[in-house]
Amino acid sequence: MTNTLHRFGEPETFRDDFVIFGMAAQGINNKDAKQKLIKFYHMAMKHKPVNIGNHHGSLYRTSENLSPLVHWHRVDEGDPEAVLNSIDDKSAQMAVVFDTAEKLEAFLIELKEADLGLSVNISSLTDMARLCCKNAGIVRHSVGYSMGFHGDLSLLPDKHVLELSTMCGHGMVSNNFAKKMIDLVKEGRRTPKEAAHCLSRFCVCGVFNPAKAERILEEVRKGE
Amino acid sequence: MEIDSKKCVGCGNCVPVCPMGAIYVDTATNRSTVNQDACVECYTCSRAMSKERLNPPLLRMIRGVLKMLRLRFEPEPDVCPTGAHTPQELTWPRIVRRAFSDPQVPHESTGVTGRGTEEVKTNDLTNRVKEGEVGFTIEFGRPGVGVHFKDIQKMIYALVPLPVTFEKKNPVYTLFSDPVKGTIREDVMNEKLLSAILELKTTIAHAPEVLRVVKEVAPTLNTIITIGAATRCDAKGDNKLEPLFIREGYNVFRGKTNAGLGRRSVTPAA
pLDDT in tens, B143-160: 999 999 999 999 999 999
The answer as to whether A186 is a domain residue is: yes
pLDDT in tens, B45-84: 999 999 999 999 999 999 999 999 999 878 899 999 999 9
The answer as to whether A46 is a domain residue is: yes
Range of the domain at A141: 11-221
Rounded distance between C-alpha atoms, residue B141 and residue B151, angstroms: 10
Rounded distance between C-alpha atoms, residue A176 and residue A174, angstroms: 5
Residues of chain A with pLDDT under 50: 1
The answer as to whether A54 is a domain residue is: yes
pLDDT band at B114 (very low <50, low <70, confident <90, very high): low
Rounded distance between C-alpha atoms, residue A216 and residue B123, angstroms: 34
CB contact under 8 A, A175 and B144: yes
pLDDT at B110 over 70: no
Which residue would you say has higher pLDDT here, B112 or A220? A220
Residue B254 CB contacts under 8 Å (≥ 6 apart), including other chains:
A5, A7, A11, A14, A124, A125, A126, A145, A146
Cis amide prior to B93 (ω within 30 degrees): yes
The answer as to whether A35 is a domain residue is: yes
Chain B's closest residue to A2, CA to CA, is B116
Cα–Cα distances in Å, from B129 out to A181, B88, B144, B172, B202? 40, 40, 29, 19, 9
A207 Cα to chain B: minimum distance (Å): 13
The alpha-helical segments, DSSP class H, found in B72-206 are 95-101, 123-126, 149-159
pLDDT at B109 over 60: no
Using an 8 Å CB-CB cutoff, list chain A residues near B111. 26-27
Judge whether B158 is closer than 8 Å to chain A, CB to CB: no
A224 Cα to chain B: minimum distance (Å): 23
Side-chain half-sphere CA neighbours of A208 within 13 A: 33
* List of domains in chain B: 2-88 (3.30.70.20), 112-247 (3.90.1170)
The answer as to whether A165 is a domain residue is: yes
pLDDT in tens, B91-104: 999 999 999 999 88
Residue B100 CB contacts under 8 Å (≥ 6 apart), including other chains:
B40, B115, B171, B193, B194, B195, B196
Chain B's closest residue to A173, CA to CA, is B19
For chain A, what is the domain count?
A: 1
> What's the angle, vertex CA A53, arms to CA B194 and CA B103, rounded to 5?
20
The answer as to whether A5 is a domain residue is: no
Q: Could you say which of B18, B227, B259 has the minimum Cβ distance to residue A138?
A: B259
Rounded distance between C-alpha atoms, residue B16 and residue A172, angstroms: 11
Q: What is the pLDDT of residue B111?
A: 55
Q: What is the pLDDT of residue B79?
A: 96
User: What pTM does this model have?
Assistant: 0.95
| Chain A interface test: which of B261, B263, B265, B266 (most A C-beta within 10 Å) | B261
Can you tell me whether residue A74 is helix, strand or coil? coil
The answer as to whether A106 is a domain residue is: yes
Can you tell me whether residue A18 is helix, strand or coil? strand
Report the complex ipTM: 0.96
